[in-house]
Amino acid sequence: MGRFVVYRLLNMVPLILGITLLSFLVMSLAPGDYLSSLKLNPAISPAVVHQMEAEFGLNQPLIVRYLKWLWAVMHLDLGVSLAYRVSVTKLIAARALNTVILALASMVFSWVLAIPLGIAAAARQNTVWDRLLSFFAFLGMSVPSFFLAFLLVYLALRTGWFPVGGSFSVFYSSLSPGMKIVDRFDHLVLPVVVLGTAGLASLMRLMRSQILELKNSDFARTAHAKGLSPRAVLYKHVLRNALNPFITLAGYGLADLLGGAALIEAVMNLQGLGLLLLDAVRSFDVYLVMGSVLMGTVLLLVGNLIADVALVLVDPRVSFWSERAR
Amino acid sequence: MTRAAVPESRTAKTQARRRGILAIAAHAGGLVAAEWRRASWPARASAICLLLFYLMAAASPVIAPYDPARQYRRLPDCPPMRLHLVLPGRGAPGLFCFHPMRMADPLARRMVEERTRWERLRFFYRGHLFSTASGAAPFFVLGSDALGRDLFSRIVYGARVSMCVGLIAIAVSFSLGITAGSIAGYAGGVTDNLIMRWAEVEMSLPSFYFLLALAALMPAGASTVRTFVTIVLIMSFISWAGLARVIRGMAAAARGLAYVEAARALGASAPRVVARHVVPSLLAYALVAATLAVPGFILGESALSLLGLGVQEPAASWGNLLAQAQDVQNLGRYPWILAPGVFIFLAIMSFNFLGDYLRDRLDPAQHGR
């Protein structure tokens, strides 16, 4: 296993290099940069702009800038945000945690509901309940996350049950530590539901079809023939096998959630990586954009790696190296 | 055959071809009818819904009652109006009438119906499906936005962007994906390795993050068409890799099949084998995958436009129409601005249902996945 992890980690290096180079190219192709708005400002003299240009290294050729940036990144320094004048590492560290919490929470939400609902639908195949759950699954898969966000915010406005948008209340800093956690949690409910719904719907459908497929398999029939109760067959034999693809999905799903989280953060005004990146993109804050993209890539790759490792640990039929050929 | 006979035979050929086209059209019509009869009701409803949406996009000037850019300054944030069916002799000018709206409180932007006045809704009027006389008060089916523009008209024109983005992006990304995938799968070796490593890089991109970064490429004052093309290209560029990987696997499997081997044995060149024998065998899968991939493109465009990075005002897309709802106060007071979201939702659900149905029909082995 150690060899596999090392191999995969080494494999990540060219990937990350490629992605960062691509992002760098894109940012430099974009018309205008952070300074172009300052240049138009008559209150700022050209000399100051020139000085800033030199300070941020914006007057150097692209490849030099990229290599310098790369060198700094290897020393865990992501550069300085042009707009905030703070180290990018600090900015991202504070925001990435929020994004990861949001993504993990919505994953837990969708799993905790999807598995029992999927089992229930499969156990009552072709009944009204099954049809109803399938219908809701289709609705859940089709509703755009930002639209669901608007609908839930509207509901929250009307009922006052949940706070509308933001990561914490206005009076957050005056709360006791215990209440701070409660306040955070309160603000997390709506985004988690929004982000988790699509996953919930597709996982439920997957669970249902997995169980239905495995119900008629040889090992299930043998278990029945041995005189096990249908309950025991379902939970001890069918369910365990049905959970297999979920392990893989956990890693890849996390990656999707991180991307989805970015949009929801921007729409619901949550202090996460997505909103940070959006602001950075809008103001051509090169190093902040690069840092966020890098962070997102690393999170995604690590998620995939965890998924692959977990699958091998759970299912003895899969070996590490066969994963590569997939 | 004499030389004089050549033009004659040519016309005969064209005629035969014409007849052939007619026959093909009739055959296709018959197939569609047969397919319609066996389709499930969700698939039928989805097909109708999508046809309506594409009709909306194609015939926007007719279906939209008003110019989407026209601002009725006296009626900003006007709620949807109610249509009354008034029997003759009840004091109204026609059968379909409504009470015009008036701003009762300019500070709170509160609108009230003028119960004493009636306006007539005219159908097939001045080249519109329905509209009102030019001097009369407008009829807002779905309300108006902050500048007093008719939301329904904007949605109808927005369908042009939102419904077409999916089709064009799918065409681009699938051509890329199928070409790259089938070449990689059929050629194998170094070519395969190169193409697939590149695809892997693209699949490892945090796509939404990257989409945001790429959206910065667009200059601030770019025209709608240019923005549209850029968005489509960006999304196609990001999404071809996943398909390429699946197609590669299928093409690699097809290489060992007897008919492919036979074609090669007959001396067909590699490009010909790929184009004539390998790719057609993958089309059923590709059609299903394409239908199921359209929602992603529609969502991508809406999300970008919603965040202000896509199609810009005054042009309308279903995404940027929703931008107003990002302000919680607007959302609370003018909930009808969510209407474009319903259209996005319906379009996506229709594509999902249709894709599911096509999968059951074309790819029975995958059933239930």
What pLDDT, in 10s, does the model give residues A271-324?
A: 888 888 888 877 777 778 888 778 878 877 887 787 777 777 777 776 655 544
**Per the CB < 8 Å rule, is B307 touching A266?**
yes
A135-179 pLDDT, tens digit per residue, is: 888 888 889 888 998 888 888 888 877 777 666 666 666 777 777
Residues of B in contact with A164 (CB under 8 A): 328
**Per the CB < 8 Å rule, is B338 touching A255?**
no
Nearest alpha carbon to residue B282 among B363, B342, B340: B363
Alpha carbon of B348: minimum distance to chain A alpha carbons (Å): 6
Asked if B179 contacts A231 with a C-beta cutoff of 8 angstroms, the reply is no
Tokens of B183: 């070449």
User: DSSP letters along B102-162, please?
Assistant: EEEETTTTEEEE-TT--EE-EEEETTEEEE--TTSPP--SS-B-TT--BHHHHHHHHHHHH
pTM equals 0.82
**Per the CB < 8 Å rule, is A144 touching B217?**
no
Interface-testing mutation among B200, B212, B320, B359, with chain A (most A C-beta atoms within 10 A): B212
Residues of B in contact with A150 (CB under 8 A): 322, 325, 331, 338, 341
A93-139 pLDDT, tens digit per residue, is: 878 888 888 888 888 898 899 888 988 888 888 888 888 888 888 88
* Cα within 13 Å of Cα(B105), Cβ side: 4
Q: Looking at chain A, which residue has its C-alpha nearest residue B193?
A: A325
Confidence of residue B314 (pLDDT cuts 50, 70, 90): confident
**Per the CB < 8 Å rule, is A144 touching B299?**
yes
Interface-testing mutation among A125, A131, A142, with chain B (most B C-beta atoms within 10 A): A142
Residues of A in contact with B235 (CB under 8 A): none
Which pLDDT score, from 0 to 100, does residue B368 have?
A: 42
Residues of A in contact with B333 (CB under 8 A): none
Q: Could you give phi then psi for residue B102, rounded to 5 degrees?
A: -140, 145
Please state, for a pLDDT cut of 90, what percent of chain A lies above it.
Answer: 1
Residue B76 three-state SS: coil
Residues of B in contact with A154 (CB under 8 A): 331-332, 335, 338
Q: Looking at chain A, which residue has its C-alpha nearest residue B221?
A: A31
Alpha carbon of A245: minimum distance to chain B alpha carbons (Å): 12
Nearest alpha carbon to residue A206 among A247, A167, A146, A173: A247
Judge residue B306's burial from the number of C-beta atoms within 10 Å of its C-beta, 0-12 exposed, 13-18 middle, 19 or more buried: buried
**What's the CA gap between B3 and B248, in Å, rounded?**
50
Asked if B336 contacts B151 with a C-beta cutoff of 8 angstroms, the reply is yes
Number of A–B residue contacts, CB under 8 Å: 127
Alpha carbon of A296: minimum distance to chain B alpha carbons (Å): 6
Query: Which of the two residues, A110 and A12, has the higher pLDDT score?
Result: A110
B22-42 pLDDT, tens digit per residue, is: 888 888 888 888 888 888 888
Asked if B215 contacts B304 with a C-beta cutoff of 8 angstroms, the reply is yes
Residues of B in contact with A156 (CB under 8 A): none
The segment with the largest mean pLDDT, out of B3-17, B94-108, B291-305, is: B291-305
At which residue do the structure tokens 């107003």 appear?
B324
CA dihedral sign of residues A182, A186, A188, A189: positive
Q: Looking at chain B, which residue has its C-alpha nearest residue A16?
A: B201
- Asked whether residue B347 carries a pLDDT value surpassing 90, the answer given is yes
User: Which letter does DSSP use for residue A80 in this model?
Assistant: B
* Cα within 13 Å of Cα(B352), Cβ side: 22
Mean predicted confidence (pLDDT) in B128-155? 84
Which pLDDT score, from 0 to 100, does residue B48 have?
A: 92
**Per the CB < 8 Å rule, is B306 touching A267?**
yes
Quick check: A283 contacting B, CB < 8 Å?
no
Alpha carbon of A31: minimum distance to chain B alpha carbons (Å): 6
User: DSSP letters along A120-148, please?
Assistant: HHHHTTTSHHHHHHHHHHHHHHHS-HHHH
Element (DSSP H or E) covering residue B37:
helix B5-38
**Per the CB < 8 Å rule, is A27 touching B207?**
no
Quick check: A15 contacting B, CB < 8 Å?
yes
Mean pLDDT of the residues in chain A: 79
Asked if A320 contacts B252 with a C-beta cutoff of 8 angstroms, the reply is no
Judge residue A162's burial from the number of C-beta atoms within 10 Å of its C-beta, 0-12 exposed, 13-18 middle, 19 or more buried: middle
Confidence of residue A246 (pLDDT cuts 50, 70, 90): confident
Nearest alpha carbon to residue A117 among A206, A216, A249, A192: A206
Mean pLDDT of the residues in chain B: 81
At which residue do the structure tokens 């059951």 appear?
B360
Q: Which residues of B192-213 are buried (b: 16+ CB within 10 A; e: fewer)?
A: beebbeebebbbbbbbbbbbbb
Q: Which residues of A36-55 are buried (b: 16+ CB within 10 A; e: fewer)?
A: eebeeeeeeeeeebeebbee
Residues of B in contact with A31 (CB under 8 A): 217, 219
Sheet with B96-98: strands ordered across: B84-85, B96-98, B119-120
Q: Which of residues 244-263 of A touch B (CB under 8 A)?
A: 255, 258-260, 262-263
Quick check: A301 contacting B, CB < 8 Å?
yes
Cα→Cα distances A46→A42, A61, B51, Å: 9, 20, 57
Judge residue B34's burial from the number of C-beta atoms within 10 Å of its C-beta, 0-12 exposed, 13-18 middle, 19 or more buried: exposed
Residue B238 three-state SS: helix
Give CA angle at A115 (A114, A117), nearest 5°.
Answer: 65
Residue A87 three-state SS: strand
Residues of B in contact with A209 (CB under 8 A): 368-369
A60-90 pLDDT, tens digit per residue, is: 777 887 888 888 877 777 777 777 777 888 8
Please state which of the ranges A232-241, A303-312, B324-333 shows the lowest mean pLDDT.
A303-312
Which pLDDT score, from 0 to 100, does residue A325 have?
A: 39
Alpha carbon of A267: minimum distance to chain B alpha carbons (Å): 6
